[in-house]
């Protein structure tokens, strides 16, 4: 796992975003080589939450075309700003817990949701997306650490939700997402990734894609070793979160 001391210490306005992106991509390639995996099978999702549009513009200039955000209003404002700047190839992934009263707003701009864990939210999204003639890629969130303060479904409850999602045509279920235990115990962190991968493997293929959104700045190499196909990385690219 990445030592916290190795992460950028400044904020996004001070750090070398392009340099950090290149370093993270090289580390992803190295983790893939160590795991015997093709680097082309692992996607980097830069998490830009709390950082201003000026910082995201630097990342865009360095080739980023997908940003991860966890607050709906902040993401919507950034999406509008980039739309006005004429960046039609830019996509937005919501990675935070989504409340049902925010689904219509998310349906207007988001391309991915990495935290689906509610049938009520799923149905609301499907209705809103249908009205807009849009679709949304979704990852069902699994609480692989069994921590009560975390969002996500218990592993044994995932299949029931997936079965309901089959009838919601505006949602494309790409796979599963998890947040591992925040711990220095590498074995305990790895166990979260192992549980999620094993769950994906035993679920019927007709219910979901085979992707796994797991791993962040401190543990993405370990996540890659256990099958991650998308790693969500913020601080290692943008530095410390901007205070608000």
Angle of the 72-84 helix axis to the 53-61 helix axis, nearest 10: 60
> pLDDT tens digit string along 5-27?
354 444 556 789 999 999 999 99
Position 2 confidence tier, pLDDT thresholds 50, 70, 90 = low
Question: Has residue 144 got a pLDDT over 60?
Answer: yes
- The rounded mean pLDDT for the chain is 93
Position 35 confidence tier, pLDDT thresholds 50, 70, 90 = very high
Q: What is the pTM of this model?
A: 0.93
Range 4-238 classified under CATH 3.40.50.1100: no
Answer with the residue of higher pLDDT: 116 or 243.
116
Report the alpha-carbon distance of residue 76 to residue 230 in Å, rounded.
Answer: 22
Question: Has residue 51 got a pLDDT over 60?
Answer: yes
Q: In this structure, are residues 1 and 193 in contact, taking their beta carbons and an 8 Å threshold?
A: no
> pLDDT tens digit string along 170-214?
999 999 999 999 999 999 999 999 999 999 999 999 999 999 999
| Domain boundaries defined on the chain | 4-238
- Percent of residues in the chain assigned helix, strand, coil, to nearest 5: 45, 20, 35
Question: Has residue 244 got a pLDDT over 60?
Answer: no
């Amino acid at each position: 796992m990445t030592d916290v001391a190795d992460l950028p210490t400044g904020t996004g306005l001070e750090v070398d975003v392009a340099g950090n992106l290149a370093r993270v991509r090289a580390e992803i390639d190295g983790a893939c080589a160590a795991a015997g995996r093709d680097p082309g099978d692992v996607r980097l999702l830069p998490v830009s939450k709390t950082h201003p549009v000026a910082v995201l513009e630097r990342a865009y200039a360095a080739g980023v075309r997908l940003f991860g955000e966890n607050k709906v209003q902040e993401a919507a404002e950034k999406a509008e700003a980039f739309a006005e700047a004429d960046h039609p190839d830019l996509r937005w992934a919501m990675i935070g817990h989504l409340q049902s009263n925010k689904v219509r707003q998310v349906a207007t701009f988001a391309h991915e949701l990495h935290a689906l864990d509610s049938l009520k939210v799923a149905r609301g999204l499907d209705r809103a997306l249908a009205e807009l003639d849009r679709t949304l890629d979704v990852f069902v969130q699994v609480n692989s650490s069994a921590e009560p303060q975390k969002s996500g479904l218990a592993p044994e409850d995932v299949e029931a939700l997936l079965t309901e999602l089959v009838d919601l045509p505006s949602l494309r279920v790409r796979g599963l997402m998890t947040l591992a235990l925040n711990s220095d115990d590498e074995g305990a962190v790895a166990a979260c990734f192992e549980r999620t991968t094993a769950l994906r493997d035993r679920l019927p293929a007709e219910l979901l894609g085979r992707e796994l959104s797991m791993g962040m700045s401190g543990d993405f190499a370990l996540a890659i070793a256990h099958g991650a196909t998308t790693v969500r990385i913020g601080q290692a690219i943008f530095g410390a979160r901007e205070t608000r």
